[in-house]
Structure 1
Amino acid sequence: MNKSENIQTNRTEDGGLPPRQRHMVLGIMMAGTTAACISQSMMIAALPTIMQEFLVGAGLAQLITTAYIFTLGLFSAMSAYLVSKLDARRLFFIAMVGFIVGCCASLFATNYPVLLASRLVQAIGAGILLPLIQVVALSVYPKSQYGKAMGIVGIIIGFAPAIGPAISGSIVDAWGWRAVFVALGTVSAVVTLLAIPFLPNVMRKPATHQRFDALSAVLFSFGAICLLAATACIEQSGWGVVAAASIALGAVLLFAFARRQLRIPNPLLKLSCFANRQFTVGLVLVLLGNLSFMAASIMVPLFVQDVQGASAAVSGLAILPGAVLLGFLNPITGRLLDSHGPWPLLVAGCALLLGGTLAFVACDAETPLWVVTVLYGVRICGVACLQMPMTAYASKQLSGDDVAQGTAIITSIRQISSALLSSVLIGIMALASSGDLGIDAHGFGVSFSILAALTIVGFVFGAVFLPKRRKASGRR
Structure 2
Amino acid sequence: MSAQTEGAQKPKSTNPTSAERVTAFAVIVFTMITIGCAAGNFSQTAMNAMLGDVRIDFGVDVDTSQLLSTVYMLVMGITVPVVTYVAKRFSLRTVLNIAWAFLALGAFIDFVTSNFWVFLFGRILQAISTGMVMPVGMAFAMLNFPPNRQGTAMGLSGMAVGFAPNVGPLIGGAFSEGIGWRYFFIVVVVIAAVLCIVTCVYCKRESNKKDAGHLDGISVVLSTLGFGGILLGCSNASSHELTSPTIWVSLAVGVIALVLFVVRQKSSKTPLINLAIFKSYRFKNGFILQNALTGSFMGVLLILPIFVTNLWGGTAVDSGLVFIPTAFAAGIFNPLAGILSDKIGPRKIMLCAGIFLLFGSCSMVFIDETTPLWLIATLQGIRAMGISSCMSPMFQWTLSDTPREIVMDGSSFSNTVRQSFSSIIAAIQVFLIVVFGGMEGIDPAFGYHLAFGLSALLSITTFLIVVTKVRTD
Give the TM-score category using the shorter length.
0.7 to 0.9
Report deviation, 1:30: 2.6
Could you report, residue by residue, the CA deviation over 1:399-418 in whole angstroms, capped at 9, with x for unpaired residues? Answer: 22111211112222222322
User: What is the identity percentage for the equivalent residue pairs of Structure 1 and Structure 2?
Assistant: 25
Q: Which stretch of structure 1 is more off in the superposition, 360-369 or 79-88? A: 360-369
Superimposed CA distance per residue, residues 392-432 of structure 1 (whole angstroms, 9 cap, x where no aligned partner): 11110212211121111222222232234334434543555
- Relative distance call for 1:462 and 1:210 in structure 2 (3 A) is farther
The alignment covers a number of residue pairs equal to 459
Alignment of 1:333-352 (within 5 A): 333-352=337-356
Is 1:89 paired with 2:93? yes
- For 1:202 and 1:331, the matched residues in 2 are separated by 31
Per-residue deviation at 1:460?
Answer: 3.3
Q: Does 1:56 align with 2:62?
A: yes
When residues 203 and 387 of structure 1 are mapped into structure 2, their CA distance, relative to the original with a 3 A threshold, is farther
Shift of 1:291: 2.4
Residue identity matched to 2:232 = A
For 1:100, the aligned partner's letter is: A
Query: In structure 2, what residue type is equivalent to 1:164?
Result: G
1:295 aligns with 2:295: no
State which of 144, 149, 155 in structure 2 corresponds to 1:140: 144
SS at match of 1:45: helix
Counterpart contact for 2:32–2:195, Cα < 8 Å: no
Counterpart in the other structure of 1:406: 410
Aligned partners of 1:169 and 1:316 also within 8 Å: no
Question: Which structure 2 residues correspond to residues 436-451 of structure 1 after superposition, within 5 A?
Answer: 443-451=447-455
Aligned counterparts of 1:314 and 1:182: Cα–Cα separation in 2: 28
- Deviation digits for residues 113-160 of structure 1 (CA, Å, limit 9, x no counterpart): 665554332111111111122222223211343222211211222211
Using the TM superposition, name which of 120-129 and 413-422 deviates more.
413-422
Q: Structure 1 213/193 Cα, relative in aligned 2: closer, same or farther at 3 Å?
A: closer
Contact 1:106 1:118 in 2 (8 A): yes
Task: Name the structure 2 match of 1:370.
Answer: 374
The residue number in structure 2 matching 1:79 is 83
Deviation at 1:25, TM superposition (A): 2.3
CA shift, 1:371, in A, is 1.9
Aligned residue among 264, 271, 278 for 2:268: 264
Check the 8 A contact 1:73/1:414 in 2, yes or no: no
Instruction: State TM-score, norm by structure 2.
Output: 0.84
Q: Which residue of 2 aligns with 1:153?
A: 157
**Does the CA contact (< 8 Å) of 1:151 and 1:334 recur in 2?**
yes
What is the identity, as a one-letter code, of the residue corresponding to 2:229? C
Out of 215, 218, 221, the residue aligned to residue 218 of structure 1 is 221
Backbone CA RMSD of aligned residues: 3.5
CA change 1:443–1:113 in 2 (3 A) is farther
Q: Note the alpha carbon deviations across 1:68-98, whole angstroms, 9 max, x for none.
A: 2342232111222111111112211111111
Report if the CA contact (8 A) 2:351-2:466 is conserved: no
Give CA deviations for 1:26-57 in whole Å, capped at 9, x if unaligned.
Answer: 23333333211222321233456667864326
CA contact (8 A) 2:433 2:451 kept: yes
Q: CA deviation at 1:262?
A: 0.8
Could you tell me whether the CA contact under 8 Å between 1:169 and 1:313 is conserved in 2?
A: no
**Is it true that 1:100 corresponds to 2:104 in the alignment?**
yes
3-state DSSP of counterpart to 1:422: helix
8 Å Cα contact 2:111/2:182 also seen in 1: yes
Whether the aligned pair in 1 keeps the contact of 2:233 and 2:248 (CA below 8 Å) is yes
Deviation string, structure 1 residues 173-209 (Cα, Å, up to 9, x no partner): 33554444344334333x2354255332499998943
Mean Cα deviation higher: 401-410 or 418-427: 418-427
The partner residue of 1:418 within 413, 422, 425 is 422
Aligned to 2:234: 231
Q: Match for 2:460: what amino acid?
A: I
1:222 & 1:105 partners in 2: Cα distance? 27
1:320 deviates by 2.6
- Does 2:397 correspond to 1:393? yes
User: If the length of structure 1 is used for normalisation, what is the TM-score?
Assistant: 0.84
| 2:219 alignment partner AA | S
Contact map agreement 2:91 2:209 (CA 8 A) in 1? no
The alpha carbon displacement at 1:389 in A equals 1.5
The answer on whether the counterparts of 1:172 and 1:312 sit within 8 Å (CA) in structure 2 is no
Partner amino acid for 2:384?
Answer: I
Q: Which residue of 1 aligns with 2:48?
A: 44
CA contact (8 A) 1:356 1:379 kept: yes
Q: Equivalents in 2 of 1:250, 1:33: separation in Å?
A: 27
- Structure 1, unpaired ranges of 5+: 472-476
Q: Which among 324, 329, 333 is matched to residue 329 of structure 1?
A: 333
Q: 1:111 to 1:429 in 2, by over 3 A?
A: farther
Q: Is the 8 A contact 1:136 1:203 kept in 2?
A: no
State how far apart, in whole Å, the 1-side matches of 2:153 and 2:453 are.
34
Residue 359 of structure 2 is aligned with which of 355, 375, 382? 355
Measure, in 1, the Cα distance between the counterparts of 2:432 and 2:307.
14
* Segment of structure 1 superposing worse, 448-457 or 311-320: 311-320
| Mapped contact 1:429–1:447 kept (Cα < 8 A) | yes
